[in-house]
Chain A
């Protein structure tokens, strides 16, 4: 059984079909890239899976259970986490708090524990903190040390993107949706993050779906590529197959592949 199955998904805004006839599945442990020109419906696709936009028709099944009609927080609890294309951190919370707060659905202490400082409460707080530091440590020295207590708005652009990924990791998902994780990064940072994405699967065991415009990243990380155009999937398969597909070239690249290399 696939981790995520999408059947005949359709999302309509007014008269516009943002997504139509979307039909595919993602296996556990895969890295899948979703590409397509601007306005192809990639982010809508993510919004629909994460419960922020209700689909018009169709079915989304995660790990054998339908996610339709669930609130975003329930979907996150099932094991789907995402990042945002336009970085949406909690800007006035510190780096550490950003990661701590997203473990909300994996923890349980409420008012009583906090008021009486019960053993269970202290234990849980300690675990939350340790796990957060471990996750932030995944990005090297960039988000730890003195940066732990800096507000998120003080971070550089690349670090904000990293923190977004860390925050998504902290919800302990099985499926991680990354929306343009390297947008705005310089080539060195891009190359570094590409390596990290593979490690996210190998070391942390996440299944990853990634939206990306940077073809180099797509080529390097993905097992499979899905191409959307005007809300319709026009091709899917390995990068080499897709990149030579004439439909894709016409819709997405708009120019001969030879010229790209």
Chain B
């Protein structure tokens, strides 16, 4: 009796409430995604030749994930797990079924009711898509079969051995990336003169061919067998490197490899990708600046776009011949000096009145200031000077002697932005480990105590504002030269919010995190006006941003690549437990005894 057998779940001994709950959510999600228009809009994008479009994929992942979730058992230490079995598969299948019933209801609804007025996507197009251009009966049968099937597959993921699960995951995500990143891979293979490779994988009309898909799936599934945690081991070894000089040497090697890659790669990339990288760089520069203000000093600045605008407009006024009032047509280098001065002034001007506020109040007031600056640029009052809603056009390219940085040549813009990003990273890195950086941290932790401990909080906070402002204005200056014009429209509040999202999702206070954040968000999804890798998502960008943000805040509030400090802060309990185990309290007591 010492080892009680694991609890066997009987096939019909189900947790019906749980299935009903997750099943309804599954159905609602599917209907929601359909009505938002994702499937209809993305149906044109073929992933696998004549089999699967991105639109259908957006419905198909749902039963799979919910099937996985519903059959997941909570593991508690010391308590026997219920043995996985057919019961789990059944609950997965039922969840998938409920989800599909949602789609069936939607089809019936579209057929019989007219609700196109509020719901634009309540239309025949969606109906045709859902019924596969056939009858409702046929559509329903297919969806039910697919839902039940995928739900079961999702549930069965728990029962596979971890090896097989890993292989499946590699195959699925690998295929997904190959299919979705078709443009990039095309572009890349062109750059490396490997057109035959992309011709082999992709069909002429877009989408992967079925054969290449199967071959790729097998290769990808075998990948974990070959790699077998080698990568993870290397990372572990690098982290736990005992000797500081070894670690230093490795870090330098790693750094130089990355540096060479970043410098050389753009020559092999096509225009689209370079354009994309330039955008990522522009937003990275902004995010690095905001990271100093929000991540280090803890000042939630929602009007950050104001400094971006100041940089753009200053460059425009000083370099463009079309500037309506004052047009010295200076070189970009000289205007850059003016940009620094103007950004500093703007930082002080906006900072001074708001700096005595704390937390939420600061956020609201900066939000206001951001809008005020944009409205000033837009206003009739300043129209004779800054062009109002017409903005300032005809900003010349940046002339750098032998080179010229202009929008039509995204590679040059990328290098220009790269230089500024390197500067910003250096600044963040050095300031973090300085007297000023420490004072910012203290202010973030507890402002009134920081003041009592002798920190001039007003000065420190203004300094953070100014450094952030200058970095943002650099980004604005390069943007102006890249696009060749500035309009008030480019400096909407949305920019501030997206940069903040980049910082939060990447990992507040972490330079690497911010880099990863901008690569993932701006690079893949795209900026407020700039398309990303997945251009098809243009209309749904904010929806995906929102969903991602909610998911991250629930599951990984510290961000993608957090600093050790922030992880500790958000997982105090776990950290304390570890610290406890490593700590010998009894030693302490003995010492005290001796001293007495």
Flag if A141 contacts B591 (CB, 8 Å): yes
| Cross-interface CB contact of A191 among B427, B450, B596, cutoff 8 Å | B596
Chain A, residue nearest B457 (CB): A73
Contact A102 B454 (CB under 8 A): yes
Which residues of chain B are near A150, meaning CB under 8 Å?
579
Contact of A90 among B435, B442, B595 (CB under 8 A): B442
Binds A, one of B93-101, B129-137, B329-337, B565-573: B565-573
Q: Once bound together, how far apart are the Cα atoms of A81 and B455, in whole Å?
A: 12
**Binary contact readout B575-596 vs A (1 if CB under 8 angstroms, 0 otherwise):** 1100100000100110111011
Query: How many residues on the A side are at the interface (Cβ–Cβ under 8 A)?
Result: 51
Q: Is the CB of B434 within 8 A of A104?
A: no
* Cα-based distance from A105 to B433 in the complex (angstroms): 17
Q: Is the CB of B596 within 8 A of A192?
A: yes
**Contact across chains for A151 and B575 when beta carbons are under 8 A apart:** yes
- Secondary structure at the B interface, as helix, strand, loop or mixed, is helix
**B453: CB under 8 A from chain A?**
yes
Interface residues of A in 64-99 (CB under 8 A from B): 71-73, 76-77, 81-82, 84, 88, 90-93, 97
Q: Identify the closest chain B residue to A140 (Cβ).
A: B591
Residues of A within 8 A of B457 (CB): 73
Q: A113-B434, A153-B572, A154-B579 are in contact. Are A102 and B595 (CB under 8 A)?
A: no
A189 to chain B: closest residue by CB = B592
Question: Closest residue of chain A to B576, judged by CB?
Answer: A154
B524 CB → nearest A CB, Å:
31
CA separation between A113 and B430, bound complex, in Å? Answer: 10
A88 to B445 alpha-carbon distance, docked (Å): 10
Contact B451 A91 (CB under 8 A): no
Partner pick for B451 among A72, A113, A125, A188, CB 8 A cutoff = A72
Minimal Cβ-Cβ distance residue in B for A116: B430
Which residues of A have CB within 8 Å of B431?
A: 111, 114-115
Task: Identify which of A93, A107, A117, A189 contacts B430 (C-beta below 8 A).
Answer: A117
Give the residues in chain B near A101, CB-CB below 8 Å.
Answer: 438-439, 441-442, 450, 453, 455
A171 touches B (CB below 8 Å): yes
A115 touches B455 (CB 8 A): no
Verify if B449 is at the interface (C-beta below 8 Å from A).
yes
Do the beta carbons of B439 and A104 come within 8 Å of each other?
yes
A82-B436 in contact (CB<8A): no
Looking at B435, B437, B565, B576, which has the most chain A CB atoms within 10 Å of its CB?
B435
Check A97–B568 contact: CB distance below 8 A: no
Q: Are A92 and B565 in contact (CB under 8 A)?
A: yes
Give A170's nearest chain B residue, CB to CB.
Answer: B453
CB distance from A34 to the nearest CB of B (A): 18
Contact with A along B4-15 (1 / 0, CB 8 A): 000000000000
Q: Is B535 an interface residue (CB 8 A)?
A: no
B596 touches A76 (CB 8 A): no
Cβ of A2 within 8 Å of any chain B Cβ, yes or no, is no
Q: Which residues of the other chain, B, contact A90 by a CB distance below 8 angstroms?
A: 441-442, 445-446, 449-450
Known contacts A90-B446, A93-B441, A150-B579; is-contact A171 B454 (Cβ 8 Å): yes
In contact, A104 and B575 (Cβ under 8 angstroms): no
A52 within 8 A of B: yes
Q: Determine whether B514 belongs to the interface, using a CB cutoff of 8 Å to chain A.
A: no
In the complex, which residue of chain A has the Cβ closest to the Cβ of B460? A104
Chain A residues lying within 8 Å of B453, measured Cβ to Cβ, are 73, 76, 81, 101-102, 104, 167-168, 171
Q: Count the B residues whose beta carbon is within 8 Å of the partner chain — how many?
A: 42
Among residues of A, the one whose C-beta sits closest to the C-beta of B434 is: A114
CB of A128 within 8 A of CB of B435, answer: yes
- Min Cβ gap B426→A in Å is 8
A90 and B449 alpha carbons, distance in the complex (Å): 8
Check B446 against A104 for contact (C-beta < 8 Å): no
Expressed in whole angstroms, the Cα–Cα distance for A192 and B594 within the complex equals: 11
Write the A160-180 contact mask toward B (1 if CB under 8 angstroms, else 0).
000000011001000000000
- In the bound complex, residues from chain A placing their C-beta under 8 Å from that of B441 are 90, 92-93, 97, 101
Q: Is B79 an interface residue (CB 8 A)?
A: no
CB distance from A227 to the nearest CB of B (A): 26
CA distance A115 to B434 in the complex (A): 9
Task: State A92–B467 Cα separation when bound (angstroms).
Answer: 24
Measured CA separation A141–B595 after assembly (Å): 12
Chain B hits for A92, CB < 8 A: 441, 445, 565, 568-569
In contact, B436 and A110 (Cβ under 8 angstroms): yes
Pair A88/B438 contact, Cβ less than 8 Å: no
B256 at the interface (CB under 8 A from A): no
Given known contacts A104-B435, A110-B436, A140-B595, A88 and B449 CB-to-CB distance under 8 angstroms: yes
Query: Which residue in chain A gives the minimum CB-CB distance to B455?
Result: A104
Q: Which of A51, A81, A142 contacts B588 (CB 8 A)?
A: A142
Q: A111-B436, A114-B436 are in contact. Are A77 and B454 (CB under 8 A)?
A: yes
B452 within 8 Å of A (CB atoms): yes
Residue B463 at the chain A interface, CB threshold 8 Å = yes
B465 to chain A, nearest CB (A): 13
Please, how many angstroms separate the alpha-carbon atoms of A77 and B596 in the complex? 36
B456 touches A (CB below 8 Å): yes
Which residues on B sit within 8 Å (CB–CB) of A111? 431, 436, 463, 467
**Chain B residues whose CB sits within 8 angstroms of the CB of A93 once the complex forms:** 438, 441-442, 445
Q: Is B327 engaged at the interface, CB distance under 8 Å to the other chain?
A: no
Known contacts A92-B568, A105-B454, A105-B455; A188/B596 CB under 8 A: yes
Q: Quote the shortest CB–CB distance from B459 to chain A (angstroms).
A: 9
A184 to B156, CA, bound (A): 54
Contacts of B390 in A (CB 8 A): none
In angstroms, Cα B427 to Cα A167, docked, is 28
Q: Does A121 contact B (CB under 8 A)?
A: yes
Chain B residues positioned under 8 Å from A91 (CB to CB): 445
Which chain A positions have C-beta within 8 A of B467?
Answer: 111
In the complex, what residues of A have CB within 8 A of residue B163's CB?
A: none
| CB 8 Å contact bits of A208-219 with B (1 = contact, 0 = none) | 000000000000
Q: Given A93-B441, A100-B438, A151-B568, are A73 and B579 also a contact pair (CB < 8 Å)?
A: no
Known contacts A92-B568, A111-B431; is-contact A52 B452 (Cβ 8 Å)? yes
> Once the chains are docked, how many angstroms separate the CA of A121 from the CA of B588?
37
B570 and chain A: residue at smallest CB distance: A92
B448 close to A (CB within 8 Å): yes
Bound complex: CA A101 to CA B129 (Å): 63
Q: Determine how close the nearest CB of chain B comes to the CB of A131; give it in whole angstroms.
A: 13
A105 to B435, CA, bound (A): 10
* A220: interface (CB < 8 Å): no
- Taking the complex as formed, is A50 at the interface, i.e. its CB lies under 8 A from any CB of chain B? yes
CA distance A189 to B595 in the complex (A): 11
Beta-carbon contact of B427 and A115 below 8 Å: yes
Q: How far is the CA of A153 from the CA of B565 in the complex (A)?
A: 12
- Tell me which of B448, B454, B579 has the highest count of chain A C-beta atoms within 10 A of its own C-beta: B454
Q: Taking beta carbons and an 8 Å cutoff, which residues of A are in contact with B?
A: 50-52, 71-73, 76-77, 81-82, 84, 88, 90-93, 97, 100-107, 109-111, 113-115, 117, 121, 124-125, 128, 140-142, 150-151, 153-154, 156, 167-168, 171, 188-189, 191-192
Closest 9 CB pairs of A and B: A105-B454, A114-B434, A76-B454, A90-B445, A102-B453, A101-B438, A72-B451, A72-B452, A154-B579
Residues in chain B within 8 A of chain A (CB atoms): 426-427, 430-431, 433-439, 441-442, 445-446, 448-457, 463, 467, 565, 568-569, 572, 575-576, 579, 585, 588-589, 591-593, 595-596
Additional A-B contacts beyond A52-B452, A102-B454 (20; CB < 8 A): A72-B448, A73-B456, A82-B452, A92-B445, A92-B565, A93-B441, A101-B439, A101-B441, A101-B453, A105-B455, A107-B435, A110-B436, A111-B431, A114-B431, A115-B430, A140-B595, A151-B568, A171-B453, A188-B593, A189-B592
Write 13 A-B pairs (CB below 8 A) sorted by A numbering. Answer: A73-B453, A73-B457, A88-B446, A90-B450, A104-B455, A105-B455, A111-B463, A115-B426, A121-B434, A124-B435, A125-B435, A140-B591, A154-B579
